[in-house]
């Protein structure tokens, strides 16, 4: 499955062949990415990236989650994923990260828009959510631009390197999204 976001931008499931570009992108922006992505410190070798991708492939086979690479033409620049799929309630979470040099261009907003539409129209989900630390303004801007509803705040729920932050939860419902009001 490949989702064409625009003529140069697409998202598709990660495969083992993406591991070198994935690691190169993380290594190039490790200091920047680690502020909000705790796994960055643990993912330092090609073997570790390959294992992470294999795990994502297994999650997809089991319908538990889908991790997609974000590609500008053929260059890997980030990840967008559907995770924690709950088929009892038909809901899931969307997560994402983007290399620093590609931020501020609307890329992740476009990818999350496309993935949200896919979640509702292809996966048959009823609702999707995005959670961000309250201080992570760049991440919060994505669901806010897409008119997700801020549904909650869990106080001091997220800890990054010894500092606690509130978790802000945004949500979108299929009926609102398809009506253009979500």
**What pLDDT, on the 0 to 100 scale, is given for residue 180?**
78
**What pLDDT, on the 0 to 100 scale, is given for residue 179?**
82
| Segment 15-27 mean pLDDT | 97
**What pLDDT, on the 0 to 100 scale, is given for residue 165?**
98
Q: What is the CATH number of the domain that holds 149?
A: 3.40.630.30
| Segment 97-121 mean pLDDT | 97
- The DSSP secondary structure of 121-132, one letter per residue, reads HTS--SEEEEEE
**What pLDDT, on the 0 to 100 scale, is given for residue 87?**
94
| Segment 111-137 mean pLDDT | 97
C-alpha closest to that of 122 among 162, 82, 73, 167: 82
The number of distinct structural domains making up the chain is 1
DSSP, res 65: -
Per-residue confidence at 178, pLDDT binned at 50, 70, 90? confident
Q: Structural domain of residue 38, as residue ranges?
A: 3-179
Tokens at 3, concatenated: 């989702």
C-alpha to C-alpha distance for 76 and 70, rounded to whole angstroms: 6
**What pLDDT, on the 0 to 100 scale, is given for residue 129?**
98
C-alpha closest to that of 4 among 100, 118, 142, 119: 118
**What pLDDT, on the 0 to 100 scale, is given for residue 1?**
80
Stated pTM of the model: 0.95
**What pLDDT, on the 0 to 100 scale, is given for residue 182?**
59
**What pLDDT, on the 0 to 100 scale, is given for residue 173?**
98
Tokens at 89, concatenated: 């309630």
Per-residue confidence at 181, pLDDT binned at 50, 70, 90? low
C-alpha to C-alpha distance for 21 and 44, rounded to whole angstroms: 13
pLDDT single digits (tens) 53-97: 999 999 999 999 999 999 999 999 999 999 999 999 999 999 999
- The DSSP secondary structure of 88-114, one letter per residue, reads TTTEEEEEEEE-GGGTTSSHHHHHHHH
| Segment 142-163 mean pLDDT | 97
**What pLDDT, on the 0 to 100 scale, is given for residue 172?**
98
Chain position carrying tokens 């897409």:
146
| Segment 153-157 mean pLDDT | 98
């Amino acid at each position: 499955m490949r989702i064409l976001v625009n003529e140069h931008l697409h998202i598709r499931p990660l495969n083992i062949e993406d591991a070198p570009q994935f690691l190169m992108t993380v290594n190039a922006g490790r200091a920047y990415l680690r502020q909000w992505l705790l796994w960055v410190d643990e993912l330092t070798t090609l073997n570790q990236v390959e294992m992470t991708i294999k795990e994502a492939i297994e999650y997809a086979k089991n319908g538990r989650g889908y991790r997609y690479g974000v590609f500008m033409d053929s260059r890997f620049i980030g990840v967008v994923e559907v995770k924690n799929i709950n088929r009892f309630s038909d809901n899931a979470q969307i997560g994402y990260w983007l290399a620093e040099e590609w931020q501020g261009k609307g890329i992740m907003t476009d990818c999350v828009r496309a993935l949200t539409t896919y979640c509702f129209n292809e996966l048959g989900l009823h609702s999707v959510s995005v959670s961000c630390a309250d201080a992570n303004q760049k991440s919060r801007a994505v669901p806010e631009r897409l008119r997700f509803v801020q549904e909650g705040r869990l106080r001091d729920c997220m800890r990054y390197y010894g500092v606690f932050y509130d978790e802000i939860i945004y949500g979108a419902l299929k009926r609102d999204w398809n009506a253009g009001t979500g």
